[in-house]
Amino acid sequence: MINLLLFPVLIPFLTAMILMFFPKKVHAQRTVVIIGLAGSVAAAVWLLATVMTDGIQAVTLGSWPAPFGITMVSDPLSAGLVLTSNLITLFIAWYSFRSIGEGRERHFYYPAMMFMLTGINGAFTTGDIFNMFVFFEVLLMASYVLIVLGGEKRQLRESIKYILVNVISSAFFVTTVAMLYSVTGTLNMADISAKVSEIGQSGILTVIAVMLILVFGLKGAIFPLYFWLPGSYAAPPVPVLALFGALLTKVGVYSITRTVTLLLPNDPGFTHELLMVLAVLTIIAGCIGALAYFDLKQIIIYNIIIAVGVILFGVAQMNSAGLEGAVFYLIHDMLIKAALFMLIGVIIAVTGTSNLREMGGLMKTHPGLAWTWLIAAFGLAGIPPLSGFFGKLLIVEGAFEADNLWGGVIILASSLVVLLSVIRIFIHAFWGEPQPIAGVSAKVYRSLFIPAALLTAVTVFYGVGTEWLRPVMTDAAEILHEPSIYIDAVLKE
């Protein structure tokens, strides 16, 4: 099966097309979405197993020889991320049944979701820098539809800014690709990497590196380019927010990781130093935001920014411990952010508000929700044996190995702030005097809570099962650390 690595990209795409034929039949839409996503998850599991046993999978579209056609590459990192994205989308689709509202379901909510998943999986899988731009546009177009779907005033207002920021960053992406093409004469990332190590890293390549960080930083929300994120992400309803928060910024982070390790490994002095400083500033800015708000959505949104900083700090260490930690933490963060957003969706549905000051005493009425929230919160902060612990441990280890003592200390301190910010939600929402709550029927509550709790269980498994997952992460980090493995796999013929 030479085309196996394309299945997780093609199945959501096909599902989206089928869904477009009958937008008004809500029940049929739900059934098809779940079948399509289940198929996609199965294909991703198969792909990951194949990558682990047979090594990196690569196919060049249209039977062109390797550096000339568009190459799709699946290494443990991209296969793992593809599997995680599919799994999260499956849970969020299930969660949407009761929370998104029939109005949106009739207006291409599920097709847009599937197109976005197509773009995300494609961006994770592609080995061609221009093709990455195309997949970015696919996922962005779908995200424009998702963010504005429903057409509330606030959504319209925020989506204009969201679109504007992304259109500008796309134009910068094209500019960067043009400059890269003029310097190296190729668009295949493996080929670029090989050519760069031949010609050495000249000044123009450093400029290109900074532009790449700028482009992906705008999508991945690093300091100071995260300004658009809190406002835009808070506008759409919770399932869309969960999808965006879990997946979209991580595509930017993955792209920074891939390009910085693959294209620019030769002169870490400038680019990696820059990336590290930006990562630390991102963490600090995120911490301030996470403590400053009394709005449930905003607190978790600022936690996205902190996580982006932590992952990029691990990448900037450029040693195997730091990179492995970054990979571990990246997948952990996708899962835990989806779980947290789904849980705050449940809290908002139960209390009817997202303002912490107006809620309280949920422990008495919804104890299951409270304990699940506590587990997810501890997982986010990285308390062993939950999922965030091992990744952060490796990142800090990498920082100490690379003599970035202060950076490691800031990462550790940020864990405390993260814990404080989510425990504040616990204290305000679950302890205290019970407030009059809007309430939802037990049936709706169950169908919202069960997917959220199951996803939290997945994160617990991710933490407890670290030992079994370790080989995948080690392989992924090794390929990031040694680009020659990637290059040989792509240009093998």
Partner 1 sequence: MEIIMSVIIGFLFAGAVYLMLSRSLLRVIIGTGLLSHGAHLLILTMGGFGGDAPPVLTDGVTDFVDPLPQALILTAIVISFGVTAFFLVMAYRAYQELETDNMKLLKGNDEYD
Partner 2 sequence: MKNSDVIIQTTTKVVFFMIFLFSIHIFFAGHYTPGGGFVGGLLTASAIVLLLLAFDIQTVRKALPFNYTVIIAIGLLLALGTASASILFDVPFFTHAYDDFRLPLFGLTSLHSAMMFDLGVYLVVVGATMTIILSIGSDD
Q: What is the DSSP letter of 61?
A: G
Q: Choose among partner 1, partner 2, none what residue 228 binds, the Cβ cut-off being 5 to 8 Å by kind.
A: none
Considering only 171, 409, 413, 427, the residue that binds partner 1 (CB under 8 A) is 171
Residues between 109 and 138 that touch partner 1 (CB under 8 A) = 130, 133-134, 137
Considering only 13, 91, 216, 430, the residue that binds partner 2 (CB under 8 A) is 13
| Minimum distance, C-beta of residue 75 to partner 1, in the bound complex (Å) | 25
Q: Choose among partner 1, partner 2, none what residue 292 binds, the Cβ cut-off being 5 to 8 Å by kind.
A: partner 1
Choices 8-16, 41-49, 141-149, 273-281 (CB under 8 A): range interacting with partner 1: 141-149
Interaction of residue 10 with partner 2, rule CB under 8 A? yes
d(CA 43, CA 68) in angstroms, rounded, equals 27
Dihedral sign of CA atoms 484, 485, 486, 488 in order: positive
Cβ proximity to partner 2: between 11 and 472 the closer is 11
Q: Choose among partner 2, partner 1, none what residue 151 binds, the Cβ cut-off being 5 to 8 Å by kind.
A: partner 1
Considering only 87, 148, 285, 411, the residue that binds partner 1 (CB under 8 A) is 148
Tokens matching residue 454? 């199951």
Cβ proximity to partner 2: between 62 and 203 the closer is 62
Distance, C-alpha 10 to centroid of its chain = 20
Interaction of residue 202 with partner 1, rule CB under 8 A? no
Choices 61-69, 226-234, 243-251, 415-423 (CB under 8 A): range interacting with partner 2: 61-69
- Say if residue 441 is exposed, middle or buried (CB neighbours under 10 Å; 0-12, 13-18, 19+): exposed
> Peptide bond before 385: cis, by omega within 30 degrees of 0?
yes
Q: What is the DSSP letter of 20?
A: T
d(CA 444, CA 175) in angstroms, rounded, equals 48
> How many residues contact partner 1, by CB under 8 A?
42
Interaction of residue 144 with partner 1, rule CB under 8 A? yes
Choices 13-21, 92-100, 366-374, 445-453 (CB under 8 A): range interacting with partner 2: 13-21
d(CA 193, CA 196) in angstroms, rounded, equals 5
Q: Which amino acid is at 22?
A: F
Lookup result for tokens 């925020």: 158
Cβ proximity to partner 1: between 137 and 482 the closer is 137
Q: Which amino acid is at 360?
A: G
From 425, 473, 216, 191, select the one nearest 322 (Cα to Cα): 473
Residues forming a β-bridge with 73: 58
d(CA 163, CA 483) in angstroms, rounded, equals 34
Cβ proximity to partner 1: between 153 and 443 the closer is 153
**Residues found near partner 2 in the complex (CB under 8 A):** 1-3, 6, 10, 13-14, 17-18, 20-21, 23, 59-63, 72, 108
